[in-house]
Chain A
């Protein structure tokens, strides 16, 4: 019986269709040279620790604005803090002159459009993976 329950849970939780309908951290990019990324590397990038990609494109950070539905999920997963903490981090970094400010977007769609138009842009979203085109999605390795 235990075996059957375990098997059912495994099949249920590993169902790719389910993964597409769950909201989770999704990273998208354009000409970043990345196809996959560890969570630690993603955190470093979105905290402003990289200036240029290996292909010499500029790293353009795209983050959800505080009013966006994605904001609290991205702040929690990437910055391990609240939306205010995420804003505070970037305000301090820009004020210190250590980084260019990120681009804040209102919605997932706006992020997709911005990334598509700007080589080097990388965006963190908290949405269903089916909401973003697979062609620009960077696979996140946990």
Chain B
């Protein structure tokens, strides 16, 4: 009896091993970060605190020769949750490579609107500085769910394109009440290794202005406009990550149009410069500016300039520490409308890791 049981057990193990060998090749990685901040928003009583940052489970799987899967699942602090943390699906997509370097992607993606949003996603270990550009919290549509046509490394200039039709800014992960989808188109070239130059355009006609779950936009408190609104965003980015120098510059011009107030002109620009010493030490400077017009009804009017001076130390490709001294010139605050000008400085440190 025992011998029969043992035989069955061996056969089961062998069968499961064969099945296991046929399973798609799947890789898991994780990313996370912890920060320390000392800010002088109130110069009489500076705030000093540690921050537990986003923790990101990254999954990549080759399903067949032409199909692959990518997922990014993030757990982050959320004060409204009973546990103070909430999970979210930041990317989940199936990619079909139908021809050399040409693919179709279905799922939830990061919109390919500039270099940052298309490259760094939620892995802080990839970020050259501590925080995302300010515009990400105000008018850059971060995600969408839909269909994307993608091409890359085409021809001598390594031309690439991305065209996306997906749910608009006001949508959630399961519903979009607006009849018009969001449209994004981006092209780039990579003339030399480490360099990428790109332009992009985004358009979304909203029957009802909203903020959904894809925008990450600061919602104007108590004054949310719910009428029709056309949202345009044009972006230009230049990135060069070479052996000695790193440059990332991206600018966006955002237009919103409403029947009542016409066009509102918004603008943002971000510049990062780093000097790489022996692959490990990177002293850096950063300029980040945003200006949102007073007649804008989607984003809260504001003008903010952030200057940063910092240093990054790379322990390995999966571990780095960054320190920055930042100064904020705040002409009107996003949360308090056109309130009084308030300038302050902050010191931030970040330990970013992958595992």
Contacts and interface: CB of A to CB of B under 8 A. Distances in A.
A88 B243 CA distance: 13
B253 interface: no
Contacts, number: 57
Interface string B137-160: 000000000000000110000100
A74 to B, nearest CB: 16
A138 B42 CA distance: 66
Contact of A98 (B65, B152, B193): B152
Contact of B121 (A49, A80, A87, A95): A95
A132 B91 CA distance: 42
A85 interface: yes
B97 interface: yes
Interface in A29-71: 44, 47, 49-52, 58
Size band of the A side of the interface? 20 to 34
Given A87-B317, A95-B123, A101-B27, A52 B100 contact: yes
Size band of the B side of the interface? 20 to 34
Interface string A79-107: 01110110110011011111011000000
A93 to B, nearest CB: 10
Nearest to A92: B126
Contacts of A52: 97, 99-100
Contacts of A51: 97, 100-101
A97 B193 contact: no
Contacts of B233: none
A51 B154 CA distance: 11
Contacts of B158: 49
B47 interface: no
A88 B128 CA distance: 13
Interface of B: 27, 29, 58, 60, 62, 65-66, 68, 70, 91, 93, 95, 97, 99-101, 105, 118-119, 121, 123, 126, 152-153, 158, 193, 243, 279, 314, 316-318, 354
Interface of A: 44, 47, 49-52, 58, 80-82, 84-85, 87-88, 91-92, 94-98, 100-101
Given A85-B317, A94-B27, 18 more contacts: A47-B193, A49-B101, A50-B100, A50-B101, A51-B97, A52-B97, A52-B100, A58-B66, A84-B279, A84-B316, A91-B354, A92-B119, A92-B126, A94-B60, A95-B58, A97-B93, A100-B62, A101-B27
